[in-house]
């Protein structure tokens, strides 16, 4: 069925969040939920959506993408470009059309690939199309030539690494190392305002819920079953007449779009998008969220993302000098101690029969 | 009072200086401390022109920052024991306290002047090596005032190499002088034959000479030099590529074992390299403190240490963590990533977050030229080292019983176990070997790169690229992958630029994997097809 | 490259279902298939025997488009060139294959395994919006009965016994409703009873479908009671009834002799 | 279960993060320290964290501020730019710090800017940077381009500097080098240098294979004209760069390299002998012999318990900034940001080189500029210095887009005021 127990509980949790946080931040006396917390939760939810996107391809289709950060970042840039254009002539050089950094590197007019981003609808569609298109083209070649396993993982890493270097270049016209920042408002709402923050956080929660439902709907459909087939026994699936590459391409593209949306919601909430989002390390961290939460469980992935992000926030504040020890130890212990991830551990025995036998052997 | 005295001496010196070297030596020396750097440089020239035998000692002292001024204004040369002798007449001035002495400060301009001056003074030196250096100096200086000195040196010179260089030096000087066109044309010819940067430096300024004949000759000379240099440039790129390749090979070959052969996605590989580098640092520290004489041997000593340290950590990782994850290689990514964080922070806590100095031993400093190919010693040694490591690794895998066991276990664990091989032990050793080699890489990298907690992060991605590009599980593939990527990178860099070059390489790898989904040296045959 | 071999006892009136002529394929110089020619009639049941490395698996790989031959032609119903197609194409064309090592989808239920094998539109969109029809359920029930797994339909395929997996895989093959079945060592790891039953099953299948069985187990082959092809070093050594071929000295030499 | 988890997470967050604000005791003044202690920037930033801790300890020893003790709040933004913004928000709105001292890279500053504007707090930024920015909530105690780059070039063009005619501008590909090189290029052209005597090169972050770049420089330098390299190469890549220079025998006497981001700390990772004579331009060198500096260095050695630890320019900038803040708070009699921001311009504090630096209305400070040559002991020998102190200019007169801009937060209350249009551009605050 579409909404099983674990998903139901998680969605309920999200719903509570969507009710409690705005109330606590905007309406309740004494603001029990500080604005700072709102921004933080919003950020976590974006990470969670990104993790779900990766779990869709890795957990159910066996595609270990070490480049999903790229799709996230591209979605973020698309949104960032819109936010830049929103600034209009309120930049430090008061240039009505050019963003500050372009004035700064002495450009005279807006490059063609920035056209249209002053319209929200255009930017919004780019948030889906750009990551989707990249995933489609990349996947089209890669899956057709049957690149698999670590080879696939490493070239996805090469992809995001190349993009990072490209976006670092100032000639690219995306603000180079500084990226896009100093946003003023979105659709006329002041990004500094508490209301906007709450709105974005709620939007992220909704997006996460929608993402989970979509992912769940896909995985319970027959297509989802075929995905598991080709994860566990690819050639058998081919001999049944399934075009494995088409399935991989489909899910990879969908996942990339989901990541793009996560990125688009992330940028206005953190206030900056820059090439370091493309860095291979970031993409690896996404994999870690999923593995830690529980691969192939969607909800687990979301949970993993939130837990790691939470741990980071707390540790960098509590033990700034040694927090990496704690985080590293956490990864090691979870891997050895909880082979089925946090969710698996939580659900205990239940997980073992439900979850697929580890397909890793076949991949490696 | 003291100031006035000095000022007077300066004036005297400058007047004297203009009267080409006739000035009183003592006055010149006394004038050294005064005035601006450019005044000082001028005085140095005059000292050289004065041809006074005592000048050389003074100039050497000035270059070595041993020339000091006593409170009473006398210029003294202080030896390393702190004993001061008057620069002019060598009278003993005792050993004044350091804070009693003013330095005669030098900057680049003065250093250059000193170098030229020493060159002029050593043109007739009995030691041919010194004369060669002097001749090279004269060529660099290309100073018309030196023509006479060079001529006399040429006349007296017996060593052919020095003679040739002197002739070129003279030619360079002639080009700067107002010598008759015929001489200049001859000079141009001579330098065109030399055909290197120094020749260009001497010729280029005349490209716009008003004498059309000379201008023409210079242009064609420059053109011919450019041509030869273009060819040498290709060779140079190949060398750069090989050198980069050797670095990639070192960084990746350990990973070719842990990842390629054992299938462990070892994200802590970079940190193992880093440990090797820090071991080198530690060894050098000990040597600096207790046995400075051994410094040139520091790397030779550090190599085994680094191997053991990194290897031990590797074994620990395998026994402690990876062992529990066989059959779940992707999980190893998560765990080893955690390990890498811990190792980084550990090093940061122990050694501090900033760079550590790892010195180059004498035999790894500087460069030598092969034709117009410039080859730096450290890169050459690293290349040799990389190939040696590779050869040894190959021998271990192919020729030793443990190597046989390793291959057996990685090919068919169960079967190997049945045949009584203690797979656990073999796994530990294999991983330890890979880690140890990473440590060796660290020793080499410490010679060309930062020794900081981030060292590993800089190489991990490239290492994976190399191993996968070459074909995981085949260390020959790693060799080929490393060098082909290195050379390709270095041929792209000159025109694409460093950033774009790297991007192109990555795109190239992606496209290549499309053509050969299992890398350069894919394991072929039914084993894979099935 | 080479002329077709004369093939004994080909009934001229029957159209060949499958036609291999002068097929060769080498891996790193080793000729796995060497100038192999073979004709399978519509509805024929054929056993292929041969020592290890005789090229049986590679032959199947070539027929199913998994491996491309270096030379030679492979024709389906005298019209379709199989060397141009890949696994999915040949499967859709009606060639079903069963692996030596039984491979079923271990993390799906027995029922899902069959459902996924059922002849249907294989495009992602179709599967995404697919709803199970009564007809499909009926067909699945029928197959479950046929392969005797009716009471295990909700089990994870991973938890089946070796023999049960063999049958499930055969069931999946039938679900595809193929014209030609390639079956690699079905009897492996079965009890004698199971073996005999499997043989009967295959014989019953043959007739409206063509079946190629690769097998080591002579008892099983005898039970199949059909024409036998002996492969050796990638080409046909002998062909005919089991009794006949097993009497041939060269066959005894390379195969039974040991 | 997950639901429980979730609520726990949220609730946990709420309590954990709200905690400091809950028990914000009033007998201390909190000071935020926002420097990366891990990741790529830890190399440079950790020192500044230590320096700040030392300064705060010293201030407390002197009896604190406004009769209260100062309490440092250290967080680790881990060289992760979005995390910088998050941590800044945490410091200001959860820990209620009176001011934040931090950031190194331009991108980290850009990332926290909106936060400081939104929550109206104070950031002291202690690193030399590209300028082209002047914010109400930020005080820039590092060098602006006119306090580092331009004087360095002037020196090299002078007779003492070797009257350089040909220039290589070598930088890491990010905004500080890009802008600095743009300014320098414009400046050089205005000084009559011909365009083909200028070569500009960029390399990626953490670039480690300098063979090609260095040989390019040598080739460019062999055109018979005196050549110099102006290096804006970023911290990490410097060590391999200088090692390659040393080994390929690029001597300072022939092709001097003047660097803007290589200080004592970077040299500590190198063998200085092959580099003797290469230059750096800073507003402070450890080798400068003044009583203030000696005292500072001794205190530093005592505080770190390591008499090998070097001091560097950003540390001095932090020192100046901290003392200015202390004075401004004392003048304002409160730590209220608006009052302190108002009080800061005009505040004077001694720098470590014997001068008195002043906070200007444009939120930059006056500093002396020194050119130092690397000595074989890893220290710098000052070979040139400006007469008196140079006032920092955020807006470069050599760039067309900023030549008309001035910043004055006192009279104009505007960071980017257009002299020609006579308006305050954009909507800053």
Which of B323, B458, B510, B529 has the highest number of chain A CBs within 10 A, making it the mutation to test binding with A? B510
Identify which has the larger pLDDT, A265 or C36: A265
| B362-371 long-range Cβ contacts below 8 angstroms, 24+ apart | B362/B296, B363/B296, B364/B299, B364/B447, B365/D246, B365/D247, B365/D274, B366/D247, B366/D249, B367/D247, B367/D248, B367/D249, B371/B232, B371/B235
Query: Residue C39: phi, psi to the nearest 5?
Result: -130, 130
Q: What is the ipTM of this complex?
A: 0.88
Using a CB-CB cut-off of 8 Å, the residues of chain B touching D216 are 494
Q: Say whether residue D422 is in contact with chain A using an 8 A CB cutoff.
A: no
Cβ–Cβ of A244/C88 closer than 8 Å? yes
Span A180-216, pLDDT tens digits: 988 888 888 888 888 899 999 999 999 999 999 999 9
The interface residues of chain D toward chain A in range 133-152, judged by CB-CB distance below 8 A, are: 133
Whole-angstrom distance, CA of residue D83 vs CA of residue D78? 7
Q: Which residue has the tokens 């957990």?
A: A59
- Angular region, C138: left φ>0, alpha ψ -120 to 50, beta rest: alpha
SS3 C128: helix
Lowest mean pLDDT of B33-37, B84-88, B517-521, D17-21, name the range. Answer: D17-21
Residues in chain D: 429
* DSSP β-ladder status, C30-41 and B367-370: unpaired
- Token pair 């690794």 is found at B393
Contact between A93 and D401 using a beta-carbon 8 Å cutoff: yes
Interchain contact, C58 vs B526, CB within 8 Å: yes
Q: Maximum Cα–Cα distance for chain D, whole Å?
A: 77
Decide the pairing of beta strands D356-358 and D348-350. antiparallel
Say whether residue D428 is in contact with chain A using an 8 A CB cutoff.
Answer: yes
| Digit-coded pLDDT (tens) for A64-106 | 999 999 999 999 999 999 999 988 888 888 888 888 888 877 7
Chain B: closest CA distance from residue C75 (Å)? 22
D302 CA: distance to closest CA in chain B (Å): 17
pLDDT tens for chain C, 258 residues long, are: 444 444 444 444 567 888 888 888 888 778 888 888 888 888 889 999 888 778 888 888 899 888 888 888 888 888 888 888 888 888 888 898 888 788 889 889 999 999 998 888 888 888 888 888 888 899 999 889 888 888 888 889 888 888 888 889 888 988 988 889 998 888 777 788 888 888 888 888 888 889 999 887 888 888 888 889 988 888 888 888 888 888 888 887 776 554
Neighbours of A113 (CB within 10 A): 12
DSSP letter assigned to residue D165: -
Closest C-alpha to A73, from A232, A221, A283: A283
Q: Is A36 within 8 Å of D133 when comparing Cβ atoms?
A: no
CA B382 – CA B243 distance, rounded (Å): 8
- Which regions of chain D are under pLDDT 50? 1-13, 16-24, 428-429
Answer whether A233 touches C (CB < 8 Å): yes
- Per-residue tokens: B388: 């040696």
Q: Could you state, in order of their start, the residue ranges of all structural domains in chain A? A: 5-357
Chains in touch with B (3+ beta-carbon pairs under 8 Å) read A, C, D
Enter the DSSP assignment of A357.
P
CA dihedral B168, B173, B176, B181 (to 10 degrees): -60
pLDDT computed for residue B29 by the predictor: 86
Q: Which one is predicted more confidently, B272 or B68? A: B272
Q: What's the CA gap between A86 and C232, in Å, rounded?
A: 75
CB contact under 8 A, A162 and B499: no
- Beta-carbon contacts of C149 under 8 Å, excluding residues fewer than 6 positions away, are C110, C160, C164, C167, C168, C171
Residue of D21, D75, D82, D183 best to disrupt the A interface, most CBs of A under 10 A: D82
Closest in A64, A287, A335 to B335, CB measured: A335
Q: For residue C5, is it within any domain?
A: no
The pLDDT of B238-242, averaged and rounded, is 93
Domain membership of residue C245 (yes or no) is yes
Residue C7 lies in a domain: no
- How far apart are the C-alpha atoms of A178 and D176, rounded to whole Å? 10
Residues of C at the B interface, defined by Cβ within 8 angstroms: 27-28, 30, 32, 57-58, 61, 66-67
CB D71 within 8 A of CB A142: no
Angle in degrees, 0-180, between the axes of helices A194-220 and A244-270, rounded to the nearest 10: 170
Angle between helices A244-270 and A120-144 (to 10 degrees): 140
Asked if D383 contacts D288 with a C-beta cutoff of 8 angstroms, the reply is no
Give yes or no for D194 touching B (CB within 8 A).
no
Residue B86 CB neighbour total at 10 angstroms: 16
Residues of chain B positioned with their CB less than 8 A from the CB of A327: 338, 341
H-type alpha helices, D305-349: 313-332, 337-343
Quote the CA–CA distance of A130 and A79 in Å, as a whole number: 11
Do D and C make contact, counting contact as 3+ CB pairs within 8 angstroms?
A: no
Q: Residue B238: which H helix or E strand, with range?
A: helix B212-255
Structure-token match 């060309």, residue found: B448
Which chain A residues are Cβ-neighbours of C116 within 8 angstroms?
222, 225-226, 229, 240
Checking DSSP bridges between strand D370-374 and strand D279-282, what pairing results, if any?
antiparallel
Domain membership of residue C2 (yes or no) is no
CB contact under 8 Å between D211 and B205, yes or no, is: no
Q: Is B401 on the interface with C (CB under 8 A)?
A: no
Instruction: With CA atoms as reference, report the closest residue to A64 among B464, B411, B435.
Output: B464
Spatial distance between the Cα atoms of D110 and D125, rounded to a whole number of angstroms: 11
User: How far apart are the CA of D146 and the nearest CA of chain B, in angstroms?
Assistant: 24
DSSP state of D396: -
Q: Do chains D and A touch (3 or more CB pairs under 8 A)?
A: yes
Rg value, chain A, Cα: 21
Burial of B4 per CB tally in 10 Å (0-12, 13-18, 19+): exposed
* pLDDT tens, position by position, B327-343: 777 788 888 999 999 99
> Could you tell me the sign of the dihedral formed by the alpha carbons of B377, B383, B387, B390, in that order?
positive
Three-state DSSP at C216 gives coil
Q: What pairs with residue C210 in β-bridges? A: C180
For chain A, positions 37-96, list CB contacts with chain D under 8 A: 37, 39-41, 43, 89-94
What pLDDT sits at residue B481? 94
Q: If you measure CA to CA, which chain B residue comes closest to A292? A: B334
- How many contacts, defined by CB atoms under 8 Å, are there between A and C? 81
Exposed/middle/buried for residue B404 (C-beta within 10 Å: 0-12, 13-18, 19+): middle
Domain count within chain C: 1
For the stretch A13-50, pLDDT in tens is: 999 999 998 888 888 878 888 888 998 999 999 999 99
Facing A9 at nearest CB: one of D1, D76, D175 = D1
**Domain carrying residue C221:** 14-256
Sheet of D257-259, strand order? D198-203, D166-172, D227-232, D257-259, D279-282, D370-374, D380-385
Judged by CB atoms closer than 8 Å, whether chains meet at B109 and D162 is answered as yes
Per-residue model confidence (pLDDT) at position C258: 46
D17 contact A CB<8A:
yes
Structure tokens at A78: 């698309």
CA distance C109 to chain B (A): 24
Considering only residues A259 and B406, tell me which one the structure prediction assigns the higher pLDDT: A259
- Provide the mean pLDDT of chain B: 85
Element (DSSP H or E) covering residue C230: strand C227-232
- pLDDT, residue B523, reads 58
Query: Element (H or E) spanning B248, and its range?
Result: helix B212-255
Q: How far is A319 from chain B (nearest CA, A)?
A: 12
Chains near C with 3+ CB pairs less than 8 A apart are: A, B
Enumerate the residues of chain A whose CB falls inside 8 A of the CB of residue C67: none
Spatial contact of B322 and B265, defined as CB atoms under 8 Å apart: no
Report phi then psi at A350, rounded to 5.
-50, -45
Q: Rounded to the nearest 5°, which phi and psi values hold at D158?
A: -70, 170
pLDDT of residue A257: 97
Tokens of A304: 């993993």
The residue with tokens 């350069």 is B520
- Structural domains of chain D in order of their starting residue, each with its CATH number: 3-144+291-367 (3.40.50.2300), 146-288+370-391 (3.40.50.2300)
Are B131 and B125 in contact by the 8 Å Cβ rule? The answer is yes
Tally B–C CB contacts below 8 A: 15
Residues of chain A numbered 97-116 and touching chain D (CB < 8 Å): 101, 103-106
Cβ–Cβ contact D200 with B under 8 A: no
Nearest chain D residue to B502 by CA distance is D204
What is the bridge-based pairing of β-strands D123-125 and D99-102? Answer: parallel
- A contacts of B329 (beta carbons < 8 Å): 360, 363-364
Within 10 Å of residue D15's Cβ, how many Cβ atoms?
Answer: 10
Q: Which chain A residues are closer than 8 Å to D105 by Cβ?
A: 177
CB B335 within 8 Å of CB A335: yes
pLDDT of B528 over the 70 cut: no
CA gap B193, B486 in Å, rounded: 33
Predicted model pTM: 0.89
Nearest chain D Cα distance for residue A151, angstroms: 26
Sign of the torsion angle spanned by Cα atoms B332, B335, B338, B340 = negative
Residue B193 zone, left/alpha/beta (φ > 0; ψ -120 to 50; rest): alpha
**Binding-face residues of A in 191-230 toward C, CB within 8 A:** 218, 221-223, 225-226, 228-229
Helix (H) or strand (E) holding B374: strand B373-376
Instruction: Compute the distance between CA of residue A280 and CA of residue A265 in angstroms, rounded to an integer.
Output: 21
Tell me if D271 and B360 make a contact (CB, 8 A cut-off). Answer: yes
What is d(CA A292, CA B190) in angstroms, rounded to the nearest whole number?
Answer: 72
Question: What CATH number does the domain containing C210 carry?
Answer: 3.40.50.300
Q: Which of B263, B335, B503 sits opposite A332 (nearest CB)?
A: B335
What is the spatial distance between Cα D321 and Cα D145, in angstroms, rounded to a whole number?
18
* DSSP at B257: I
The predicted model gives B418-435 an average pLDDT of 90
């Amino acid at each position: 069925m579409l909404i099983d127990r674990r998903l139901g509980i998680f969605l309920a949790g999200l719903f509570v969040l969507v009710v409690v946080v705005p109330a606590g931040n905007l309406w309740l006396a004494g603001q029990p939920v500080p604005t700072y917390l709102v921004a933080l939760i919003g950020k976590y939810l974006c990470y969670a959506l990104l993790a779900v996107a990766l779990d869709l391809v890795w957990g159910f289709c066996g595609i270990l993408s070490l480049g999903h950060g790229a799709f996230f970042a591209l979605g973020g840039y698309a949104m960032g470009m819109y936010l830049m254009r929103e600034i209009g002539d309120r930049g430090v050089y008061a240039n009505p059309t050019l963003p500050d950094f372009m004035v700064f590197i002495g450009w005279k007019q807006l490059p063609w690939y920035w056209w249209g981003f002053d319209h929200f609808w255009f930017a919004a569609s780019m948030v889906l199309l750009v990551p989707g298109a990249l995933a489609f083209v990349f996947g089209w070649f890669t899956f057709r030539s049957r690149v698999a396993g670590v080879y696939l993982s490493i070239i996805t890493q090469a992809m995001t690494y190349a993009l990072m270097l490209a976006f670092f270049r100032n000639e690219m016209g995306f603000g180079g190392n500084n990226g896009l920042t100093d946003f003023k408002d979105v659709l006329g709402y002041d990004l500094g305002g508490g209301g906007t923050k709450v709105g974005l956080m709620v939007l992220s929660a909704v997006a996460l819920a929608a993402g989970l439902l979509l992912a769940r709907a896909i995985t319970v459909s027959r297509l989802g079953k075929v995905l598991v087939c080709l994860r566990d026994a690819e050639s058998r699936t081919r001999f049944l007449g399934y075009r494995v590459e088409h399935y991989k391409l489909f899910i990879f593209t969908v996942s990339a779009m989901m990541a793009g949306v996560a990125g688009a919601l992330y940028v206005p909430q953190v206030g900056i998008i820059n090439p370091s989002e493309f860095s291979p390390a970031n993409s690896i961290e996404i994999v870690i969220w999923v593995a830690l939460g529980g691969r192939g469980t969607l909800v687990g992935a979301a949970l993993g993302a939130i837990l790691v992000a939470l741990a980071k926030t707390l540790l960098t504040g509590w033990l700034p000098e040694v927090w990496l020890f704690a985080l590293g130890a956490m990864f090691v212990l979870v891997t050895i101690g909880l082979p089925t991830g946090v969710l698996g551990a939580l659900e205990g025995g239940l997980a073992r029969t439900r979850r697929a036998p580890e397909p890793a052997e076949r991949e490696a | 009072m003291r100031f006035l005295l000095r000022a007077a001496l300066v004036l005297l010196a400058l007047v004297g200086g203009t009267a080409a070297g006739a000035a009183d030596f003592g006055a010149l020396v006394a004038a050294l401390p005064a005035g601006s750097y450019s005044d000082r440089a001028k005085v140095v020239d005059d000292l050289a022109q004065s041809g006074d035998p005592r000048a050389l000692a003074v100039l050497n002292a000035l270059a070595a920052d041993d020339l000091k001024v006593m409170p009473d204004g006398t210029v003294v040369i202080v030896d390393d024991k702190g004993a001061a002798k008057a620069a002019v007449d060598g009278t003993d001035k005792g050993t004044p306290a350091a804070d009693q002495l003013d330095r005669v400060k030098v900057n680049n301009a003065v250093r250059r002047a000193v170098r030229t001056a020493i060159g002029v003074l050593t043109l007739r030196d009995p030691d041919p090596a010194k004369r060669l250096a002097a001749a090279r100096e004269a060529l660099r200086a290309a100073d018309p005032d030196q023509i006479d000195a060079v001529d006399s040196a040429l006349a007296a010179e017996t060593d052919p190499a020095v003679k040739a260089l002197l002739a070129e030096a003279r030619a360079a000087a002639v080009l700067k002088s107002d010598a008759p066109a015929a001489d200049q044309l001859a000079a141009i010819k001579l330098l065109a034959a030399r055909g290197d940067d120094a020749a260009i430096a001497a010729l280029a300024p005349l490209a716009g000479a008003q004498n059309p004949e000379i201008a023409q000759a210079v242009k064609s000379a420059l053109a011919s030099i450019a041509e030869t240099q273009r060819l040498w440039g290709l060779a140079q790129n190949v060398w750069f590529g090989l050198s980069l390749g050797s670095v990639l090979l070192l960084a990746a070959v350990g990973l070719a074992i842990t990842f390629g052969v054992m299938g462990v996605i070892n994200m802590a590989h970079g940190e193992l390299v880093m440990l090797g580098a820090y071991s080198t640092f530690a060894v050098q520290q000990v040597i600096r403190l207790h046995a400075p004489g051994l410094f040139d041997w520091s790397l030779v000593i550090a190599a085994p240490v680094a191997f053991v340290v990194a290897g031990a950590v590797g074994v620990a990782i395998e026994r402690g963590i990876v062992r529990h994850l066989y059959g779940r290689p992707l999980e190893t990514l998560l765990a080893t990533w955690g390990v890498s964080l811990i190792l980084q922070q550990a090093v940061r806590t122990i050694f501090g977050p900033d760079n550590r100095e790892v010195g180059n031993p004498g035999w790894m400093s500087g460069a030598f030229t092969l034709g117009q190919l410039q080859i730096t010693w450290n890169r050459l040694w690293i290349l040799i080292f990389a190939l040696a490591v590779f050869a040894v690794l190959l021998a271990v895998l192919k020729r030793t019983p443990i190597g046989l066991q390793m291959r057996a276990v990685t090919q068919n664990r169960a079967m190997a176990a049945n045949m009584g091989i203690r797979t656990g032990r073999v796994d530990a050793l294999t991983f330890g070997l890979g880690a140890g080699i990473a440590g060796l890489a660290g020793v080499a990298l410490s010679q060309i790169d930062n020794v900081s907690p981030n060292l590993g992060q800089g190489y991990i991605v490239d290492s994976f690229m190399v191993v996968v590009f070459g074909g995981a599980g085949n260390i020959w593939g790693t060799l080929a992958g490393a060098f082909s990527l290195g050379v390709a990178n270095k041929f792209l860099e000159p025109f694409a630029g460093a950033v774009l070059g790297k991007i192109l390489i990555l795109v190239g790898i992606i496209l290549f994997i499309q053509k050969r989904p299992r890398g350069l040296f894919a394991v072929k045959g039914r084993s894979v097809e099935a | 490259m080479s002329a077709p071999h004369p093939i004994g006892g080909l009934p001229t009136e029957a159209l060949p279902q499958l036609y291999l002529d002068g097929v060769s394929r080498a891996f790193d110089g080793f000729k796995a298939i060497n100038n192999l020619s073979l004709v399978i009639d519509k509805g024929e049941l054929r056993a292929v025997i041969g020592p290890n490395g005789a090229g049986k698996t590679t032959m199947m790989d070539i027929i199913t488009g998994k491996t491309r031959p270096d030379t030679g032609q492979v024709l389906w119903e005298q019209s379709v060139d199989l060397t141009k197609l890949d696994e999915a194409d040949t499967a859709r064309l009606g060639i079903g294959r069963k692996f030596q090592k039984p491979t079923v989808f271990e993390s799906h239920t027995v029922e899902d395994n069959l459902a996924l094998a059922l002849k249907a539109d294989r495009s992602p969109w179709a599967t995404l919006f697919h709803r199970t029809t009564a007809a499909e359920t009926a067909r699945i029930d029928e197959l479950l009965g046929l392969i005797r797994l009716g009471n295990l339909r909700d089990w994870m395929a991973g938890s089946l016994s070796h023999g049960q997996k063999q049958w499930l895989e055969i069931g999946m093959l039938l679900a595809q409703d193929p014209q030609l079945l390639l079956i690699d060592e079905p009897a492996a790891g079965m009890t004698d009873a199971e073996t005999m039953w499997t043989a009967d099953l295959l014989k019953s299948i043959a007739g409206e479908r063509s079946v190629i069985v690769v097998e080591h187990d002579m008892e099983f082959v005898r039970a199949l009671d059909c024409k036998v092809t002996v492969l050796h070093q990638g080409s046909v050594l002998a062909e005919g009834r089991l009794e006949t071929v097993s009497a041939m000295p060269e066959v005894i030499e390379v195969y039974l002799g040991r | 279960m997950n639901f429980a988890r979730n609520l726990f997470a949220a609730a946990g967050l709420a309590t954990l993060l709200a905690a400091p604000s809950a028990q914000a005791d009033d007998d201390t003044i909190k000071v935020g320290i926002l420097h990366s202690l891990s990741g790529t920037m830890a190399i440079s930033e950790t020192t500044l964290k230590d320096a700040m801790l030392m300064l705060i300890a010293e201030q407390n020893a002197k009896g604190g501020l406004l009769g209260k003790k100062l309490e440092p709040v250290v967080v680790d933004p881990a060289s992760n730019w979005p995390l910088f913004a998050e941590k800044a928000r945490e410091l200001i709105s959860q820990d209620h710090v009176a001011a934040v001292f931090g950031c190194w890279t331009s991108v980290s500053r850009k990332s926290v800017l909106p936060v400081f504007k939104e929550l109206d707090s104070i950031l002291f930024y202690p690193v030399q940077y590209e300028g082209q920015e002047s914010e109400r909530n930020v005080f820039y105690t590092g060098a602006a381009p006119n306090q580092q780059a331009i004087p360095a070039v002037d020196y090299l063009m002078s007779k003492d500097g070797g009257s350089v005619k040909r220039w290589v501008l070598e930088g890491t590909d990010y905004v500080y080098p890009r802008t600095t090189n743009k300014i320098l290029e414009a400046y050089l052209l205005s000084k009559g240098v011909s365009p083909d005597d200028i070569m500009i090169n960029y390399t990626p972050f953490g670039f480690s294979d300098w063979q090609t770049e260095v040989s390019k420089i040598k080739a460019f330098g062999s055109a018979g004209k005196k050549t110099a390299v102006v290096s804006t190469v970023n911290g990490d890549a410097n060590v391999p760069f200088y090692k390659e220079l040393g080994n390929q025998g690029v001597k300072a006497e022939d092709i001097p390299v003047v660097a803007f981001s290589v200080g004592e700390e970077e040299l500590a990772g190198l063998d200085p002998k092959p580099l003797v004579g290469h230059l750096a331009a800073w507003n402070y060198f450890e080798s400068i012999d003044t009583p203030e500096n000696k005292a500072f260095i001794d205190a530093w050695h005592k505080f770190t318990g390591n008499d090998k630890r070097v001091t560097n320019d950003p540390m001095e900038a932090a020192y100046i900034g901290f003392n200015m803040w202390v004075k401004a708070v004392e003048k304002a009699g409160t730590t209220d940001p608006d009052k302190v921001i108002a009080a800061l311009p005009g505040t004077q504090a001694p720098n470590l080189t014997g001068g008195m630096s002043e906070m200007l209305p444009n939120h930059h400070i006056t500093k002396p500029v020194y050119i130092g040559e690397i000595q074989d002991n890893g220290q710098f020998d000052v070979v040139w210095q400006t007469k008196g102190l140079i006032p920092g200019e955020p807006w470069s007169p050599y760039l067309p887009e900023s030549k008309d801009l001035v910043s004055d937060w006192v009279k104009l209350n505007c960071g980017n005021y257009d002299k020609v249009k006579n308006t305050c551009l954009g909507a800053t605050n």
